[in-house]
Amino acid sequence: MVELFTDEQRLVRNTARVFAERELIPAASDLDEREVFARELFLKLAELGFTGLMCPEKYGGSGMDTVTYVAVLEEISRGWVAMGGTLSVHIMVEQLLLSAGNEEQKTRFLGPLCRGEVLGAIAITEPEAGSDIGSIRTTAAARGEDFVLNGNKIFITSGGEADLYLVLCRTGRSGAETAVFAVEKGTPGLYFGKKERKMGYGGSPTRELVFENCVIPGRNLLGRPGEGIKLMLRALDGGRIGVATMAVGLSQAAFDCALAYARERRQFGRPIISFQAIQFMLADMATGIAAARQLTYHAARLRDSGVPYTKEAAMAKLFASDTAMKITTDAVQILGGYGYMKDYPVERYMREAKMLQIVEGTNQIQRLVIARRLEDGTPAHYD
């Protein structure tokens, strides 16, 4: 028998599964409908050690690998994808600090992040710079030992709720002259726009960040000026594994609901699962989930092995989110009229799936990333 997980990984995953079933699934629909950010549930994730899952123990984390993180995030996202997204972005912040921060920055920021006392967010997107990351206009002008930020960021996950933002800024006239700054909530000159009204994903607040002569100490610069885009693209590789994992968890939730309904719903004197039309839909859904899960864990294992994984992360994000869109749509179809009603969660799953095709780079961008790696001869990793 092939063992996909170690005993420790299985134990951690099962802990996440129990948490999702007891805490997230019963509350998700109501919280999402009311667009409530459940900080208390995030703090419960922290109590389980999940908010610092991949941070070294010296900084207060659990020191676990990407595969373990993916196993946890899948279960959290199956329970409530909005909480999965909050956790995924939070982990991105920690990983970016680990890869680019100096020892003082790691010591200062990572402990509170790992303990869940501080919630992290990433700020890249602007009104004129979505997929075109090089067109950002938010500036960071040097003033003595400090930097003064001006500009705005939009569609920021956990915007207004997060306590620490890693912000991509221009440091010169060229779009290539960029840097990443750690900006703490409450810093004078940092303002938040209204909470965006979205078609789904209501439990994850999305707001604009506005910087008006926002003075940031020089010690909050991550890495060196000029490295900003490179650092953020590296962070996005890991973030795409996170989005792929969220898509797998969401797909599993939709499939579970559709399967249970098909077994119980009777038409023409028998359960609808006995009809070939429904059987084939469910078979395709199960196959899609299995394939998306394999792509996602493959990318995670490559990351843990220390080999390039940009292409594989893009493949996982592309396939898993497209699969989630199809599976959630099919789940609505299997439930028929009930699928369109808010008494069942599948209509919410369908609205949430659309978001996954857009965030961390649209799926059109993922195809571009993959094609460029094929063009430049990047080796395929099959082992």
pLDDT, tens digit (0-9, with 9 covering 90-100), for 261-300 = 999 999 999 999 999 999 999 999 999 999 999 999 999 9
As a whole number of angstroms, the distance between CA 10 and CA 245 comes to 16
Quick one: pLDDT at residue 130? 82
CB 193 within 8 A of CB 207: yes
Quick one: pLDDT at residue 4? 79
Quick one: pLDDT at residue 70? 98
Quick one: pLDDT at residue 175? 57
Residue type, 362: T
Quick one: pLDDT at residue 324? 98
Options 21, 47, 360, 375, the catalytic residue? 360
As a whole number of angstroms, the distance between CA 338 and CA 277 comes to 18
Quick one: pLDDT at residue 123? 97
Tell me the domains of the chain and their CATH numbers: 7-118 (1.10.540.10), 121-225 (2.40.110.10), 229-375 (1.20.140.10)
Told to judge if 145 belongs to the known catalytic residues of this protein, a careful annotator would answer no
For every residue of 326-364, DSSP letters joined together read HHHHHHHHHHGGGGGSTTSTHHHHHHHHHHHTTTTS-HH
As a whole number of angstroms, the distance between CA 335 and CA 261 comes to 7
For residue 58, which phi and psi values (nearest 5 degrees)?
A: -65, -20
**45 by DSSP, 3-state: which?**
helix
As a whole number of angstroms, the distance between CA 248 and CA 89 comes to 17
pTM: predicted TM-score of the whole model, two decimal places: 0.95
**β pairing state of 164-170 and 120-123:** parallel
Quick one: pLDDT at residue 253? 98
Closest CA to 2 of 294, 313, 242, 308: 294
For residue 64, which phi and psi values (nearest 5 degrees)?
A: -95, 170
Burial 91-127 (b: 16+ CB within 10 A, else e): bbbbbbbbebbeeebbeebbbbbbbbebbbbbbbbbe
Quick one: pLDDT at residue 1? 44
For every residue of 4-34, DSSP letters joined together read -S-HHHHHHHHHHHHHIIIIIHHHHHHHHHT
Token digits for 367? Answer: 């195809």
As a whole number of angstroms, the distance between CA 356 and CA 318 comes to 9
Residue type, 348: R
Q: With a cut of 50, list the residues of the chain below it in pLDDT.
A: 1
As a whole number of angstroms, the distance between CA 113 and CA 95 comes to 11
